[in-house]
Chains A and B, each alone.
Chain A
């Protein structure tokens, strides 16, 4: 036994890129918990959130992660997402907070009638309300730098003014592993522990660590309609069919999950993680393509959303 150990120590233990990414994310989360007054983890129930939550459990083990999960709900997520939400929070031993913008609720804002306003009110405005309501001063988000061009320049610790604005000209330089978490009262930080992960890294890690994700990522036969170039899933009876539309069973899966009336599926038979990864790698299109949100204003649209406080 001792002899084997001696041989091991002679040659360096090579960390893989996933091990280094994992260590970095854990380090980031621990820094926030050590320095922030009231951190929270934004939990969107998607695959990135699943990885982030898993990393949080690793970071603070054997303690449960010392902060709550916050889901900014739009009431229009897939049913399967709501199911996993409860289960994942329970498994992690964490408090789950759900925020639904009361104003959007009162006005009956929905993705069928209100288009961009739906995202703006439920998500962007809802997030601001929730952070203000609970007084959170640091919020973990699962955004990655490889998702979109304007995110490539996002800091890991991203500062927001008291009214949640992001000012790309006024972000703090981040050197080495040193994060400056100091802020004035009212200001807050969005923290992105997955900044340096790519989509492939996320999938590979889910595979390797056996992390539970929403079944909608896996192909199955589901009721769908095709509309404006997107395949939409008829997830519940609130889905408004247009004249002439009849739900058709297709074998589909989702590359990204959001509000079901806004999220396009892909036709697929990929039913296992390796299948999904293969499909992703062979796919000629990038990840966010299925989301209507990026298409609104060309390539500057995500940046505008960020300045307004969207994650």
Chain B
């Protein structure tokens, strides 16, 4: 063990006030380190903390003890142990999540997002990169540019990091050779240009020995560029550049302590604002001027990108959470159909057509994706055909939202172009996305206002339109009951239409199979057809397995309130299988039929159906009467 102990800046002892003034005026740089355990990433970060004097004596003591016990560096300190956090990970010897580290030099404070290099963790790297100004891409000098180097560089570039540092590490293990370094840099340059990385800085380092980390390396006199810390201290910071863009403030919260005050609180995404500035509130487009910039420390004469403020307006105009206050003469766009890159982050695959929550800035809307146009192989950057996106897949797809979104292309603004996707049932964050542009049809296709309204059509038929949605396992008795319901309604002079699973699959949906994605699309189309029929004034009876809650909910949300009646035809699997009217269960059990609901594909029973039919205690006749009673009675 030959680690020097913590040696603080002499100024601290001599003149603390001057030291504090200096520290107060530091700027903040956020960066990400990309590489695998083998590249010596944890060691490099440990070294950055150590060389910038962020390691205390007690930590050093426990580090020395751990190094002896489980370290991989023999008699030397294993810096990797400083940063490997969770107990389980330490046992496995790998980092498996995004960890944030902090250190400061005399010029800057740094926040480092430390992400693992394993293939299955694209999600973590994208997460860590989303807040970073700069990426340090680690390369093992002995191995050169690897597949994972390409992957990391692609992801950093995708997420909009414009400053890339190539840290060629473990130079001590290649005899500090200049030729090795030059060859790696040339390889990387060729690759970087191919994916659009215009510029990068390559630094030969040794995290273990400390070469070119804080001070220039005596071992590599042939290198005259900056050290790693020197470079990190000098690069420009994105947030400051954002001040030059037009003003945008996504409204988080309306502050109304009393009737006299109405303020709009948020974090300024870009630009600068002063009292008197003309602003436009989107999506409404109304204009006013900024009256005050209110803070606890008194009103401000101006505020800039990166500050959390509260604005008041000269006029009383509508403005609430989700609105964007923007420079009046340069407002952002508003649209409801987009092309976007999607990074999928959940075990359960992305299902085209399924509605997800989309959160962008302070706006939350419902969005659904179309089939991906292509998926990107992050190792080769090839475009592959894809029907869905699986965990860690990146693809480009069109999406539409149920309400207009105020947005900017991600290239212009991370804050108004980056979004997350949230599963409506599990509430998990399942994806992230980057908006590229609004589809032109979104601006050009308008709803045609019709003179004969749905109310008029329903009145002509002397009925209230509805959708009786029967869901349940195959063989539960849905079609039998639906048929009876329609017959009885027809006898009562009601205008009806029965949409039946098998029949629809012979026509409208004959291009669809039985994968999860196709099942979602099947239900989406049926939902749209049912909706048109209710617009026509009809009572629609449907009989579909419709196994997923999310899609049943999607259809429910398409309909006018109260028009969707979910009927759970509840037949236990054993009973349905025993009936096996069409012989399908037998085939599924024999493995001849794939993705069969109840056998190798799940059925999610309704949690709160309007009606539950227990077919083990009720005849189809009784069931039909009960449904009609619910509808008419």
Contacts and interface: CB of A to CB of B under 8 A. Distances in A.
A34 B62 contact: no
B98 A16 contact: no
B308 A282 contact: no
B27 A17 contact: yes
A13 B302 contact: yes
A16 B24 contact: yes
Contacts of A146: 101-102
A58 B295 contact: yes
A133 B355 CA distance: 35
Interface in A164-214: 168, 171-178, 180, 182-184, 195-196, 198, 200-201, 204, 207-208
Nearest to B17: A274
Contacts of A12: 240-241, 243-244, 304
A26 to B, nearest CB: 4
Contact of B266 (A30, A152, A168): A30
A284 interface: yes
Contact of B16 (A15, A17, A180, A275): A275
Given A200-B23, A277-B20, A34 B253 contact: yes
Interface centre among B57, B253, B266, B360 (most CB of A within 10 A): B253
Contacts of A303: 85-87
A15 B307 contact: yes
Contacts of B272: 9, 13
B66 A204 contact: no
Contacts of B57: 284-285
Nearest to B257: A63
| Majority-rule SS of B interface residues | mixed
Q: What size tier do the contact residues of chain A reach? A: 35 or more
Contacts of A176: 130-131, 414-415, 418
B266 to A, nearest CB: 7
A180 B24 contact: no
Contact of B253 (A24, A33, A274): A33
Contacts of A14: 27, 240
Nearest to A144: B102
Interface in B580-632: none
A191 to B, nearest CB: 14
A22 interface: yes
Contacts of B19: 278, 281
Contact of B24 (A64, A208, A283): A208
Contacts of B27: 14-17
B533 interface: no
Contact of A17 (B26, B82, B252): B26
A8 interface: yes
B6 interface: yes
B102 A196 contact: yes
B56 A286 contact: yes
A175 B86 contact: no
Interface centre among A24, A33, A174, A177 (most CB of B within 10 A): A177
Interface in B224-271: 239-241, 243-244, 252-253, 255-257, 261, 263, 265-267
A57 interface: yes
A12 B305 CA distance: 10
A108 interface: no
Contacts of A284: 5-6, 56-58
Interface centre among B86, B123, B127 (most CB of A within 10 A): B86
Contacts of B108: 17
Given A57-B296, A173-B123, A17 B28 contact: yes
Contact of A281 (B8, B99, B130, B357): B8
B83 interface: yes
B267 A198 contact: no
Contacts of A63: 255-257
Q: Which 8 A-B pairs have the closest CB atoms?
A: A284-B57, A63-B257, A17-B28, A26-B308, A300-B87, A286-B56, A182-B427, A175-B130
Interface of B: 5-6, 8-9, 12-13, 16-17, 19-20, 23-28, 56-59, 62, 66, 82-88, 90, 97-102, 104, 108-109, 111, 114, 123-124, 126-127, 130-131, 239-241, 243-244, 252-253, 255-257, 261, 263, 265-267, 272, 274, 294-297, 301-302, 304, 306-308, 310, 321, 345, 357, 359-362, 414-415, 418-420, 422, 427-429, 432
Interface of A: 5, 8-9, 12-24, 26-27, 30-31, 33-34, 57-64, 145-146, 149-150, 152-153, 168, 171-178, 180, 182-184, 195-196, 198, 200-201, 204, 207-208, 274-275, 277-278, 281-286, 289, 299-300, 303-304
27 contacts: A5-B274, A13-B272, A15-B307, A16-B27, A22-B308, A23-B306, A23-B308, A27-B308, A31-B362, A58-B296, A61-B295, A61-B296, A61-B310, A62-B261, A146-B102, A149-B84, A153-B100, A173-B429, A173-B432, A175-B432, A176-B415, A178-B418, A184-B427, A282-B8, A284-B56, A300-B90, A303-B87
